[in-house]
A and B are shown apart, each in its own frame.
Chain A
């Protein structure tokens, strides 16, 4: 599976970004309706420059913004048995998977990488809401296990960005089993004395919230992110009353003690550096727009990957 992730996908990716960019010169903010320049939005990490609404951002774009110099190395994830239940609803599951792969140019709903964050080596995992609503199946479970193992092996903290509509129904009980599976992975991390920081992004719901998204040492959410176990519509149907304004949004959860912080996406990187370095007992970071780390073997490898995989926003520069 490795050669596909490393070589084929970057090419697909670049074809996609070239093809899509001219049509998407304008982006409409789903919150305030303002028409925004695509460039303006992507430079602002998909946060509306008018109303501060945090739109979805792909794991790849997030990592480019997160890691020093936009440089990171992907961590391989074991591909699970495809379509373990032979699931069929109105479409076949493999067809849905293929459609999502074509649409996102990603293998699955989670990306794992290692790299430097403010010169602090970390492992990061990010869930991709644009891939079948980020739903958690065997692959996402394998990705979290791979991330935790990598972090333990390299003695690095793990930062996880969650985003999911819940479990991957097409994997039935096996998607549910990712709750204990990912919990085991996090236990390995905690036993190794390594920090686990969760950044909860819009939306984080269902079995994902009820497992790895709520087991962090530190919980940070992006503003106004919906974070819940049962969705607001299900609750309204059950209790037959209207829910209060802001119910299950990040700020509401902060008020109810479920989160440590709610942090703007543009301030997230700095905050993660600050927290991570203190948890690791390291001196304060130098605040700067850091270039990629020195040409260690890993950096060289990563740069090569970068060359084969121009960042989506690099092509419209």
Chain B
């Protein structure tokens, strides 16, 4: 059963009715509901198409945060082989909000790193809802160093509400860890490609997404601050998140126009959670495409490519 978002209420009713009819038919053999049920299916599809035709920025945030949306672990399991997690920052701990390790994509060994939010209460707590602590960023730095030394491309999967705002995280240098991870992204002489698969939450996302190529799933978001946070500061009212989401230009479509990302990966109708397999396959193709775009560049060219890209970023605004 899909969890519906508030704006999907009309859809929930129709799909619910279709489901009820089919359930009824299963217990009552004389009943033939095929026609009625498929009429409802058609109607549901029409509603879905209408809803997702032009999803508002706030609705995109909701889709990006959908609990059933495929997460980092789902992508790693499906797209990579021989995934071998590497743990720890060698200083303090292993941060379970960040997954990472050696793996193969289409037989090529790479280093894969990403935020993992978890899929049920237990794993969400264990993963700290995808909010990394300094240890997570320092683990990522360590893995990027290994990748650099052995010439392995780095693939990062971004999905975090933001870096964890906690007492210990601050004491152990959350700022410094993020700054160093961003710096490391810029230093490694190997291809670095990044996909924002859900939420790209502020500095916690930049630390992984300072890449040669950045892609975003169609309904994922990437922002300097959450719409709620922005609303409470600029509107003095957290309930104004719809307006804030609009103003922040956090959608993949706007970010592509601004030149912040390089490509948009289409999602199945109704969002990635309605058809995880298709979404994951599309992300896999995008990763392979981005890696092959970079495969002919030598280490210096890769570093120069990243620098030029970020130095030139934003010089034209949305008019570009």
Contacts and interface: CB of A to CB of B under 8 A. Distances in A.
Given A81-B316, A187-B307, 7 more contacts: A84-B318, A171-B224, A172-B248, A179-B179, A207-B206, A207-B224, A230-B166
Interface stretch (B25-33, B146-154, B182-190): B182-190
- Top 7 closest A-B pairs, CB basis? A84-B317, A230-B165, A209-B175, A89-B234, A81-B317, A210-B178, A176-B224
A81 B315 contact: yes
Contacts of B165: 229-230, 234-235, 238
Contacts of B171: 256
Interface stretch (A32-40, A211-219, A283-291): A211-219
Nearest to A78: B315
A187 B318 CA distance: 28
Given A85-B318, A172-B223, A247 B167 contact: yes
Given A187-B186, A207-B203, A257 B167 contact: no
Contact of B249 (A85, A181, A239): A85
B170 interface: yes
B224 A169 contact: yes
A169 B318 contact: no
A260 interface: no
B183 A187 contact: yes
> Chain B interface mostly helix, strand, loop or mixed?
helix
Interface in B187-246: 187, 202-203, 206, 210, 222-225, 230, 233-235, 243-244
Contact of B233 (A83, A169, A187, A215): A169
B260 interface: yes
A206 interface: yes
Interface string B294-320: 000000000000010011011111110
B174 to A, nearest CB: 4
A216 B186 CA distance: 16
B260 A230 contact: no
Contacts of A315: none
B5 interface: no
Nearest to A173: B260
B85 interface: no
Contacts of A171: 224, 314
B285 interface: no
B182 A179 contact: yes
Contacts of A167: 202, 224-225
B256 to A, nearest CB: 11
A89 B182 contact: no
B289 interface: no
Nearest to A235: B165
Nearest to A184: B307
Contacts of B310: 177, 180-181, 184
B255 interface: yes
Contacts of A238: 164-166
Interface in B245-276: 247-250, 255, 258, 260
A214 B170 CA distance: 13
A215 B179 contact: yes
A206 B224 CA distance: 10
A135 B294 CA distance: 35
B173 interface: yes
Given A84-B317, A229-B203, A183 B179 contact: yes
Interface string A85-116: 11111100000000000000000000000000
A184 B225 contact: no
B255 to A, nearest CB: 6
Contact of A210 (B179, B185, B255): B179
Contacts of A213: 175, 179
A179 B203 contact: yes
A83 B317 contact: yes
B43 interface: no
Given A172-B223, A238-B165, A184 B174 contact: no
A228 interface: yes
A145 B311 contact: yes
Nearest to B162: A230
Contacts of B230: 169
A275 B224 CA distance: 35
Most chain A beta carbons < 10 A, residue from B164, B224, B316 = B224
Interface in A20-75: none
Contacts of B224: 167, 169, 171-173, 175-176, 207
